[in-house]
Amino acid sequence: MNMQVIFLGTSGSIPTPSRNLPSILLRREGEQIMFDCGEGTQRQMIIGKIGFRKITKILITHMHGDHVLGLPGLLQTMALLDRSEKLCIYGPSGIRGFMEDMIRSLQFNITFPIEVYEVKNEGTICREESYEIKAIWADHVVPCLAYAFIEKSRPGKFYPEKAKALGIPKGPLWGKLQRGEAVRLSDGRIINPEEVTGPPRPGRKIVYTGDTRPFSGLIELAMKADLLIHDSTLDDALAEKAGEDGHSTPSQAAETARKAMVKKLVLTHISARYSDPSILLEQACRIFKNTIVAEDFLSLNVTFPDE
């Protein structure tokens, strides 16, 4: 089951010729989940030849314009394309009022149901059959959420030789056991999946910080994540300004990645002052080697930990 993370916008609070304002798209099993939606996100999707219809959820980290101002235009375009599927929008307090203001001011003719959830408490904010999304408070100058997309564990690896040894006939019963279901054989015996499979295999985990200073809660949220997408607005030499503005430096992001033992770190929200971001990469790599700097339209395949 493929999972891709596509960076639609990777700039800081002001866009550049090569970086649009922040937005990240997670594609998985025919579903698309968007994190942040800076101005111009709809056009980035059009340029990237990515359809709008499969977006089911949009999660906003905070109510600063550079993270949210692409939302009304995206919704307008969805409506112009006659979308009928429900869309869920999550964000901090203020997201509902923003949506209501927009729909009123711009006389939208919305063709589809929109459900807006203002996140009040840390924890799981959405639970689906095969994944959940958690949110915790980051450390920015306004309330800002960090999100974790966490796949549920999959059943353990199936061992055909064990099934054969137990006299389970090859066929539909094997399939059920593979999916983690118990089966009853024709002789009355009940076989539990654990008898023919290995231990459950962990799913994938992706964490996005939004805008934030480094903060300790993030280490737990990001623990063993496959991908940690971290604010890295300014380089280490500007650590003081980064802190004042509620942002992180490459070393701070890398330190969290190291402590959380993540697989890969992606630096994003890159200030317009870095036309060449190699300084950011160098500073992070000294502390955490498997780091990259995001760029617009970068697409990462996220594999299972055991793949």
CB closer to its own copies out of 8 and 254: 8
> Per CB under 8 A, does 46 bind its own copies?
yes
- Among residues 105, 121, 216, 278, which is the contact residue for its own copies, using CB under 8 A? 105
Window contacting its own copies (CB under 8 A); options: 66-74, 182-190, 232-240, 293-301? 66-74
> Per CB under 8 A, does 250 bind its own copies?
no
DSSP-derived pairing of the beta strands 131-137 and 123-127: antiparallel
> Per CB under 8 A, does 56 bind its own copies?
no
Query: 158, exposed or middle or buried, with CB in 10 Å at 0-12, 13-18, 19+?
Result: middle
- Among residues 36, 39, 151, 296, which is the contact residue for its own copies, using CB under 8 A? 39
How far is it, in rounded angstroms, from Cα 149 to Cα 234? 26
How far is it, in rounded angstroms, from Cα 41 to Cα 24? 9
Contacts of 225 (CB under 8 A, 6+ apart): 148, 205, 206, 207, 260, 262, 263
DSSP-derived pairing of the beta strands 183-184 and 190-191: antiparallel
CB closer to its own copies out of 46 and 165: 46
> Per CB under 8 A, does 66 bind its own copies?
yes
- Among residues 64, 83, 204, 230, which is the contact residue for its own copies, using CB under 8 A? 64
3 state SS of 78 = helix
Looking at residue 14, what DSSP letter applies?
Answer: S
CB closer to its own copies out of 64 and 264: 64
Q: How far is the CB of 33 from its own copies (least distance, A)?
A: 22
Q: Look up 245 and say whether it is catalytic.
A: no
How far is it, in rounded angstroms, from Cα 96 to Cα 192? 47
Site string for its own copies, 68-87 (x = CB under 8 A): xxx-xx--xx--xx------
Window contacting its own copies (CB under 8 A); options: 101-109, 165-173, 216-224, 273-281? 101-109
Contacts of 234 (CB under 8 A, 6+ apart): 241, 242, 245, 247, 249, 271, 273
> Per CB under 8 A, does 263 bind its own copies?
no
Q: How far is the CB of 253 from its own copies (least distance, A)?
A: 22
> Per CB under 8 A, does 42 bind its own copies?
yes
Closest Cα partner for 74 from 141, 153, 131, 8? Answer: 8
On whether the CB atoms of residues 52 and 45 are closer than 8 A, the answer is yes
In angstroms, the Cα distances linking 43 to 48, 124, 263 are 8, 31, 31
- Among residues 102, 238, 239, 279, which is the contact residue for its own copies, using CB under 8 A? 102
- In the complex, the residues that contact its own copies under the rule CB under 8 A are 13-17, 20-21, 39-40, 42-43, 46-47, 63-66, 68-70, 72-73, 76-77, 80-81, 94, 97-98, 101-102, 105-108, 142
Give the residue numbers marked as catalytic.
66
